[in-house]
Amino acid sequence: MSTRFLAVISSLLIGLIFIVPGTLLYGQDEHPETEDAHHVTVEAHQDETGHSEAAEEEFDATEYILEHISDSHDWHILTKKDGHHVSVPLPVILYSKHSGLHVFMSSKIAHGHSHDGFQMGHGTIEVINKKGETVEKSLNGKIIEVDEHGALVEAGLPLDFSITKNVFMMMLSVIILLWVFLSLARAYKKMGISEPKGLAGFIEPVIIFIEEDVAIPNIGEEKYMRFMPYLLTVFFFILLNNLMGLIPFFPFGANVTGNIAVTMVLAVITFLITQFSSNKGHWQHVFNTPGVPVWLAPIMIPVELIGLITKPFALMIRLFANITAGHIIVLSLISMIFIFKSIFIAAPSMLMVLFMDMIELLVAFLQAYIFTLLSALFIGMAMPEHHHD
Amino acid sequence: MDLVTPGIGMIFWSTLFFLVLLFILGKFAWPAILLAVKARNESIRHALEAADRAKEEMAQLQADNEKILAEARAERDMLMKEAKEMKDMLIADAKDKAMEEANKLVKSARESIQREKAGALNDMKEQMANLSVDIAEKILRMKLEESKAQKELVHKLINEADLN
């Protein structure tokens, strides 16, 4: 137990070594980027909305932070002094009910350009939702399709399957995970039962930790083996994306595990596994909770059914909120420099960022662990050993 | 709020990527790794058990050795004691026998001496008788001539008898 704990701590420390230089470079990198990026954004706004020049001087921390924690179609690296952007274009894949499937690079629609009628949206539109109410919908960061007159096409927004920043980093994380664990599996086959060396020695304690302290106590000795692949995959997937999200350079730093769609997918998969592996005891617990009088059933059954949904919902929100909040805090601390425009703020701000990054490092492990632990717990709860007496 | 609205593209790609990852790792990586870890743990457990067993056997063996050694020592002591007893017995036996033999010898010697003595006495008695008869004969003969001569004869005869 203690050796496993030590291994986790040491992996934290090794992670720190990677993160510290990265943190120091936040400032260097982001300084020109943020101001000039802002500059350009404001200019782009001017074209469409005619904002005044005065707005250019203000540093909008909210916009800066939201830009960094949300997804984007290209990967902005930096902006040069002359206002020229350096960004990695990513493939845009759109399906429009109006004009079918479109695939092109994001550079085609950068800087307000239009390609085949597609362009980046700005501002808001009013749409009528299913209930017949009129709601405002933001178009920022979304690709819109316009006709020859510049008006939105009737079919609405195209379905966006683009390889965005998040998708790209997730793809990278999947490639890294496949590479690491497939080579690890090969190494294990080769070395037989000799002691783990190198990468295996580093990862094996984590695997054993998941097995002995997460899976077995929650699911039970007989059944846990079926769920180990899911638990391990979800743990390392979340962990790697959390860690990669903390590294502030291309191709890292995207907010994958702080994206509600990603956490939703993971939570839904946990939910599906939980329901499909559930046994009679689980449903008996839902519809006829032992020890509860029958006349309470009209209250208990809805409560239990809501309980089924709230578990994965909490999983989804917890991971999303923790990771996004971490990014927001770090970005806020960096924003302080540009809000105060003072070098004297820079040093304490960097120290705070360093401190936050260390906490985020802990959170990266913690949230991966919690998601895995709760998944195991829910799976275990859905297959009680015997009926309650 | 875009931030909390899941986008269709992200849902699609993360589902696809995650399921592909789960499938490939679940098929090719996790079973191999988990089995290897389990096999190693088993082998370590077996090795530890074997070591424990060996230790126990060793202790058992040592105890056995001690016991055997103690038995051997006891047996040796007993043998020594027996040998000593035997020796003592033999010595005592030999002494008794020697004594008996000696006594027997002494007794037979004594008997033979007795016998010799008795024979010599008988001999002497016979000779004395003969001598007495001779003396008496000669005295009787000389008495007739003179008394002086008789005395001389007696003396002479006695002297003669002493010589015998």
Q: Residue B11 is nearest to which of A163, A208, A265, comparing CB atoms?
A: A265
B32 contact residues in A (CB cutoff 8 A)? 185-186, 188-189
A208 contact residues in B (CB cutoff 8 A)? 37
B17 contact residues in A (CB cutoff 8 A)? 167, 170-171, 174
Question: Nearest Cα to A358, choosing from A332, A330, A334?
Answer: A330
> Residue B112 in 3-state DSSP?
helix
Alpha-carbon distance B45 to nearest alpha carbon in chain A (angstroms): 12
Please give the DSSP secondary-structure letter assigned to residue B29.
I
B37 contact residues in A (CB cutoff 8 A)? 188, 204, 207-208, 211
Q: Could you tell me how many helices (H) and strands (E) chain B has, helices first?
A: 3, 0
Q: What confidence score (pLDDT) does residue A151 get?
A: 79
B11 contact residues in A (CB cutoff 8 A)? 261, 264-265
CB atoms within 10 A of CB A245: 26
Q: What token pair was written down for A220? A: 């039970």
CA dihedral B133, B134, B136, B139 (to 10 degrees): 180
| Cβ atoms of residues A218 and A376 within 8 Å | yes
Q: Which helix (DSSP H) or strand (DSSP E) does residue A377 occupy?
A: helix A343-381
| Cβ atoms of residues A259 and B10 within 8 Å | yes
The whole-angstrom separation of Cα B97 and Cα A323 is 115
The pTM is what?
0.72
Residue with tokens 């101001």: A35
CB atoms within 10 A of CB A312: 23
**Beta-sheet pairing, A100-105 with A74-79:** unpaired
Please give the DSSP secondary-structure letter assigned to residue A388.
-
Given strand A159-160, what is the order of strands in its sheet?
A100-105, A91-96, A159-160
For A121, phi then psi, to 5°, come to -85, 155
| Contact call for A233 and B30, based on CB within 8 A | yes
* CA quadruple B69, B70, B74, B80: dihedral sign: positive
Q: What confidence score (pLDDT) does residue A8 get?
A: 54
Q: How confident is the model at residue B60 (pLDDT cuts 50, 70, 90)?
A: very high
The whole-angstrom separation of Cα A144 and Cα A121 is 6
> Residue B151 in 3-state DSSP?
helix
Most distant CA atoms of chain A, gap in Å: 75
> Residue A278 in 3-state DSSP?
coil
Task: Assess B16–A contact: CB distance below 8 Å, yes or no.
Answer: no
B6 contact residues in A (CB cutoff 8 A)? 260-261, 264
The whole-angstrom separation of Cα A67 and Cα A76 is 11
* CA quadruple A31, A32, A37, A40: dihedral sign: positive
Alpha-carbon distance A185 to nearest alpha carbon in chain B (angstroms): 5
Q: What ipTM does this complex have?
A: 0.80
Q: What is the pLDDT along chain A (389 residues), one digit of tens a residue?
A: 455 555 555 555 555 444 444 443 333 333 333 334 333 333 334 334 444 444 445 778 888 888 888 888 888 888 787 778 788 888 999 888 888 888 888 888 887 788 888 888 877 777 777 777 887 777 877 888 888 777 787 777 888 899 999 999 999 999 999 999 999 988 888 877 777 778 888 898 999 999 999 999 999 888 899 999 999 999 999 999 999 999 988 888 888 999 999 999 999 999 999 999 888 888 888 887 788 888 888 888 888 899 889 999 999 999 999 999 999 999 999 998 888 888 888 889 999 999 999 999 999 999 999 999 999 999 998 888 764 44
Q: Residue B21 is nearest to which of A161, A174, A193, comparing CB atoms?
A: A174
Residue A259 burial (10 A CB sphere; 0-12, 13-18, 19+): buried
Q: What token pair was written down for A119? A: 């362009």
| Contact call for B20 and A174, based on CB within 8 A | yes
Q: Which helix (DSSP H) or strand (DSSP E) does residue A208 occupy?
A: helix A199-209
Question: Nearest Cα to A195, choosing from B56, B40, B59, B139?
Answer: B40
| Contact call for B22 and A230, based on CB within 8 A | yes
Task: Assess B12–A contact: CB distance below 8 Å, yes or no.
Answer: yes
Alpha-carbon distance B73 to nearest alpha carbon in chain A (angstroms): 49
| Contact call for B3 and A164, based on CB within 8 A | no
Please, what is the end-to-end C-alpha distance for chain B in angstroms? 174
Q: Which residue of B has its CA nearest to A233?
A: B22
C-alpha triplet B33, B39, B42: angle, nearest 5°: 140
Q: What confidence score (pLDDT) does residue A294 get?
A: 82
| Cβ atoms of residues A267 and A348 within 8 Å | no
Q: Which residue of A has its CA nearest to B1?
A: A138
| Cβ atoms of residues B20 and A231 within 8 Å | no
| Contact call for A233 and B21, based on CB within 8 A | yes
